[in-house]
């Protein structure tokens, strides 16, 4: 049960990181303007919050580091697959790309 909750939390946090990066990526680039600064601050804030939550998840599940890294890689793969399925379903329903 601990492993499944660990993978679930990790997957949700990876989804948040990936979606935040996908959404804010078009706004960050040269020439840097105020919208770039605001989007970078939002990006760093979301990364900071996610990494704090990741730290809590890692501390709560007492296992070896190798085991946690393996589960984190599995969670990343699950998050990417979730986003791919979400994109495909959205495209089938609306005919437009989501990301």
Instruction: Name the residue ranges covered by the structural domains of the chain.
Output: 2-94
User: How many Cβ atoms are within 10 Å of 11's Cβ, its own excluded?
Assistant: 20
Q: Is 37 left (phi over 0), alpha (psi -120 to 50) or beta?
A: alpha
Q: Give the tens place of pLDDT for each residue, 14-49.
A: 898 888 878 777 777 777 788 878 888 888 888 888
CA 32 to chain centre: 25
Average pLDDT over residues 71-75: 90
User: How many Cβ atoms are within 10 Å of 6's Cβ, its own excluded?
Assistant: 21
Q: Which pTM value belongs to this model?
A: 0.73
Q: Give the tens place of pLDDT for each residue, 50-70.
A: 888 878 877 777 678 888 888
């Amino acid at each position: 049960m601990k492993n499944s909750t660990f993978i679930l939390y990790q997957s949700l946090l990876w989804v948040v990181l990936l979606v935040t990066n996908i959404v804010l990526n078009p706004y960050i680039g040269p020439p840097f303007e105020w919208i770039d600064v605001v989007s970078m601050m939002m990006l760093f804030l979301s990364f900071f919050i996610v990494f704090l939550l990741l730290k809590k998840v890692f501390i709560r599940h007492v296992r070896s580091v190798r085991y946690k890294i393996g589960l984190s890689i599995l969670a990343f793969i699950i998050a990417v697959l979730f986003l791919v399925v979400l994109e495909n379903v959205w495209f089938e329903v609306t005919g437009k790309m989501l990301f």
